[in-house]
Amino acid sequence: MSTEKKLLAQNRLKEFIRDIPDFPKPGIIFKDITPLLQNALAFESTISLLANRFEGKEVDQIAGIESRGFIFAAALALQMKKGFVPVRKKGKLPWKTHRVSYQLEYGEDVLEIHQDAVWEGARILLIDDVLATGGTAQAVTGLIRKVGGIVSGVGVVIELAFLNGRDKLEGLETHSLIQY
């Protein structure tokens, strides 16, 4: 008997996303990924599907955006056998950083990267949980370029397509697994 596990199809993943209305602010429908993380098969399927999207693409390192982006980026880095680069909130990284401030769907934020996080010309796959307005991914793309990396693609679990975040990522190969 085969012990091989059957992963979930991409169209099943939406079942594991919970809508939380008015979080963290009135009018925002927060896409809660914790049900997906709690389910081993759904989590593994998500990582595997993301890896498939970027198969054959030149990738040297995988950058994750704090906080929820870390969860997917680190797991994907293991699966794709690449290094992981953290892009963190202000004041968290201990070494010399570059920083960028940017608009969120709900407010403003600052993100930082270590100046020596990537090597010159490294091809970086950028991973986050949600692509909303695209402001975060766009800002981090700029940060990665500033430290010498080349963004080779953007991968997210969830895309709020009605916010047209892709428009801010012109020219970048962008993949999402779940769209709203």
Q: Quick check: is 4 catalytic?
A: no
CA distance 129 to 156: 5
Q: Which stretch binds ligand AMP (CB under 6 A): 28-36, 55-63, 92-100, 170-178?
A: 28-36
Nearest to 107 by CA among 64, 141, 136, 144: 136
At 97, which amino acid appears? T
User: Please, which residue, 68 or 82, has the CB nearer to ligand AMP?
Assistant: 68
CA distance 142 to 9: 33
Catalytic hit among 105, 123, 166, 173: 105
The answer to whether the CB of 98 falls within 8 A of the CB of 87 is no
DSSP alpha helix (H) spans, the chain: 34-38, 40-53, 68-80, 135-146
Q: Between 32 and 71, how does the x/- string for binding to ligand AMP read (CB under 6 A)?
A: ---------------------------------x--xx--
CB of 179 to ligand AMP, least distance (A): 13
How does strand 97-104 pair with strand 29-32? unpaired
Establish if 112 lies at the interface with ligand AMP (CB under 6 A): no
Site residues (CB under 6 A) for ligand AMP, limited to 138-177: 165
Active-site residue numbers? 68, 105
Positions that interact with ligand AMP (CB under 6 A): 28-31, 65, 68-69, 104-105, 128-136, 165
